[in-house]
Structure 1
Amino acid sequence: MSSNRFGDLLKSKLEDIQKKNPRFSFRSLAKKVGISPGCLNELMHGKRPLSEFYANKIVLGLELDINERNEIYSLIATRSRKFAVQKTLEDQELEMLTHWEHFAILNLFRMKNFQAEPEWIAGRLGIPVEKAENSLQLLMNLGFIKRKGNSIARAVASLSTTTDIPSQALVKAHISDLKKAIDVLQSTTPAVRDFSSITMAINPEKIEEAKKLIKKFRRKFSILVEEGDQTEVYNLNIQFFPLTRPEKDPVNVI
């Protein structure tokens, strides 16, 4: 691991923030990424190996772009490295992943008791064995998972998609998630899920700011629930959408 390189990257990021906010300190940086000041100091000076866990906290807490994320992930210590760098899905790839079970299977790989057998996967997700087999083959063909000895491992740290760009593939993926949400709503108790909604009159000029807030919440939420032993796979859906037609274009159907 290039500890100096990681330290330089973090110091540079801190300096960038301090140019906008001179009162922002190293302790503020530690709080922002959710790592104790002492631990972050050890990471910066190579006294503690950079693991995937800490790398995720840093790239999410600092809201790094894809290039910065990949650079951070490339510096993960060899003994701590579990996956390759983050991969952004191309639209053609996403077209093949428009069913919830593909992403669910990818996240099953993170569980300590994961078993690569289609029968185990099918049992955990409540899907036919044939569907589990087909999904594993698809993920293998796309390079998202790979054979490692007699087992199978993830080949990417995480997957992301384009944002705010029209995509029929993304529409299909969201529809798949929504249909699964309806199924879960009807078949589980409130003890294991949370469904809620709020209807409000809004100022459209605040939409971009609201979307950034939702994005930040998703990242912090994932850090919280992924910490510790991972024994279940969950899906978080947040819907924020218009119920009214634009006043200036009343004939437009939303």
Structure 2
Amino acid sequence: MNLTEPTVNTILMKHYEDILDKNPKFSLRAYAKKLDVSPSMLSEVINGRKRISLTMANKISQSLNFSKKEDEYFRLIAEKETCKSIERKSEIEEKILTLTKSKNLSIDLNVDSFSLIKESYHFAILELLTLKNLKFDINELSRKLDITPIQFKLGLERLKRLGLIAFKDGRPYKIKNVSLNVSSEERNRALQHYHDSMLDKTKDLLKEQQPSERYVGSETLVIDEDHIEEAKEIFEECFDKLIALSAKAKNPKNVYYAGIQFVSVSKGDKK
């Protein structure tokens, strides 16, 4: 599977993930029913083991309420995957290129960047790939991160598109000397979602893990407003030291999350 361009299975996985965001209990069987295909057929398609016909592409497009342009795009992708004629495949690629340039088509690689920021498991996948002697089994790795196999596959798709991972012999690996730093001086909904999700996950893990497995500490104090930037520099220095410590790891077995929150718990005087 070429992860640098959309495929039928990645499009279907993306729509399934959108449904899971709203209803985490929505099963793959329920998704198959929504698409009016058998669960076994959907599983084969999503796993890239089976291609769909144009007739099935039309049926799925109607089930997902695609717009006219999205419908055409999806059918072209489906036809390209089964097309044997080199000339026809070239024609299809030209049409796909024209469609992706259309402002009315809801396909934008910027969405990948947004999703990478918004969904925290992408960072966990990225670091997980650095573990030595990692057995690449999507079902096992997704369980390790407490996400679905669909989310894991989509995570790989986005990381590949953003140039953060590459594939060799069918196995993904993190590209060396590539780091990801996300920050914003203004309020950002994607970043807020990311931090909210990490705080929620941390609360759950604090209940599950033993004190020997993690560290928790907090301080309540007063700081002059003129010293806030200096405080931020201290936090950045802490992260730099943790990153350096991580770089020295010789046989890591787990991925850790380190977060620092520094917020005012009192209402300041209005100026």
TM-score of the aligned structures, taking structure 1 as reference length: 0.57
Verify the 8 A CA contact 2:112 2:158 in the aligned structure 1.
no
1:49-107 residue CA offsets vs partner (Å, 9 max, x unmatched): xxxxxxxxxxxxxxxxxxxxxxxxxxxxxxxxxxxxxxxxx985442121221110000
Q: Output the aligned Cα RMSD.
A: 2.2
Gaps in structure 2 of 5+ consecutive residues: 1-108
Equivalent residue for 1:186?
207
1:183 positional shift: 1.1
List gaps (5 residues or longer) in structure 1. Answer: 1-89, 250-254
Q: Is the 8 A contact 1:94 1:170 kept in 2?
A: no
Is residue 91–residue 169 contact of structure 1 (8 Å, CA) maintained in 2? no
Opposite residue 234 of structure 1, the aligned amino acid is: Y
Structure 1 residue aligned with 2:265, among 233, 243, 246? 243
Q: Partners in 2 of 1:135 and 1:244 — Cα distance? A: 39
| 1:137 paired residue among 146, 157, 179 | 157
Q: Write out per-residue CA displacement over residues 136-189 of structure 1, whole angstroms, 9 at most, x where no aligned residue.
A: 223233332222233222236211113434322111111111111111112111
Single out whichever of 169-178 and 137-146 deviates more from structure 2: 137-146
Q: How does 1:114-193 map to 2 (within 5 A)?
A: 114-155=134-175, 157-193=178-214
Q: Within 5 A, what are the aligned runs for 1:19-168?
A: 93-97=112-116, 98-155=118-175, 157-168=178-189
Paired amino acid for 1:229: N
Q: Distance in 2 between matches of 1:96 and 1:127?
A: 15
Please give the secondary structure, in 2, of the residue aligned with 1:160.
coil
Which stretch has the larger CA shift, 229-238 or 92-101?
92-101
| CA distance in structure 2 between the aligned counterparts of 1:92 and 1:131, rounded to whole angstroms | 15
In structure 2, do the counterparts of structure 1 residues 216 and 208 end up closer, same or farther at CA, with 3 Å as the change threshold?
Answer: same
Does the CA contact (< 8 Å) of 2:128 and 2:255 recur in 1? Answer: yes
Q: Which residue of 2 aligns with 1:221?
A: 242
Q: Structure 2: which amino acid aligns with 1:243?
A: V
Alpha-carbon distance, 1:243 to partner: 0.7
Q: Among all aligned residue pairs of Structure 1 and Structure 2, give the percentage whose two residues are the same amino acid.
A: 28
Decide whether the 8 Å contact of 1:111 with 1:231 is kept in 2.
yes
Cα distance, 1:234 vs. partner?
Answer: 0.2
Cα separation, partners in 2 of 1:244 and 1:91, compared to 1, 3 Å: farther
The number of residues matched between the two structures is 160
- Structure 1 residue 121 displacement after superposition: 1.2
Give the equivalent residue in structure 2 for 1:234: 256
Q: Is the 8 A contact 1:102 1:139 kept in 2?
A: yes
The one of 232, 235, 254 aligned to 1:211: 232
Q: CA deviation at 1:128?
A: 2.4
- Distance (Å, rounded) in 2 between the aligned partners of 1:174 and 1:94: 16
Conserved? CA contact 1:94–1:169, under 8 Å: no
Q: Distance in 2 between matches of 1:226 and 1:181?
A: 23
Letter aligned with residue 221 of structure 1? L
| Structure-1 separation of matches of 2:146 and 2:192 | 24
C-alpha distance after superposition, 1:177-234 (max 9, x if no partner): 1111111112111111111111112211110011011101110122124412221100
Provide runs of 4+ in structure 1 moved above 3 Å.
90-94
Farther off after superposition, 106-115 or 117-126 = 117-126
Q: Alpha carbons of 1:164 and 1:232: their partners in 2 closer, same or farther (altered >3 Å)?
A: same
Which letter does structure 2 place at the counterpart of 1:241?
Answer: V
